[in-house]
Chains A and B, each alone.
Chain A
């Protein structure tokens, strides 16, 4: 008798779970992402404008959906600059993923804290596609404007335009 009750409960739970999974696939509550970015950085103006390749930027972030309509997520994580320099920082912001669309828009900030400091604002626009039920690939165009910090020369800002490739994992 007890065994049959347990089996009924398990069957009910398993029967309900596919709907939950489908629901979470459509609207994941938590996402983890690994992304790599590379592009061009410009600084200054007029004849003193410089243009050079950005460092390779690799970041790991976690995003949490906090609003359903519009579908907004907050994100935060660590970012590392590499290739011709090494630095570590954090990034944070808000992400919009419109319902029924592959589009995503983000806006936020960057704070590099070691070995120098940099404050920046960042915005990106891109497309995401699922490659498995819980894994997706994203491609974004990202602009980052660094406006303060010990790595900037006095009175100068630096703006980086980067192409971003990301691997996204739906966690919950």
Chain B
């Protein structure tokens, strides 16, 4: 009841329920911007950097078979 009363009071004060206050208010993959809107993260370079980091362990795995091949 108290929550409902607060919600009505805030709605009357012009609050917008669609805006976000925290990134965890947004769907997965979106961040809360300083304007209070959920949006895709602006830094795409960070994603490609992650891909690069993923490639490094793969390269390490690729290097293992020749070592095993030398063993026998």
- On A, residues with C-beta under 8 Å from B are 38-44, 46-53, 55, 81, 85, 87, 116, 118, 146, 150-156, 158, 161, 163
Contacts and interface: CB of A to CB of B under 8 A. Distances in A.
Nearest to B21: A43
Given A43-B20, A50-B21, A156 B6 contact: no
Given A50-B16, A53-B3, A42 B36 contact: no
Nearest to A153: B32
Contact of B7 (A46, A51, A146, A154): A51
28 contacts: A39-B2, A39-B3, A41-B21, A43-B19, A43-B22, A44-B19, A47-B16, A48-B36, A49-B19, A50-B20, A51-B7, A51-B10, A51-B11, A51-B17, A52-B20, A53-B3, A55-B24, A118-B22, A146-B22, A152-B22, A152-B23, A152-B32, A153-B34, A153-B36, A155-B34, A156-B32, A156-B36, A163-B3
Contacts of B22: 41, 43, 118, 146, 151-153, 158
Interface string B1-31: 0110011001101111111111111000001
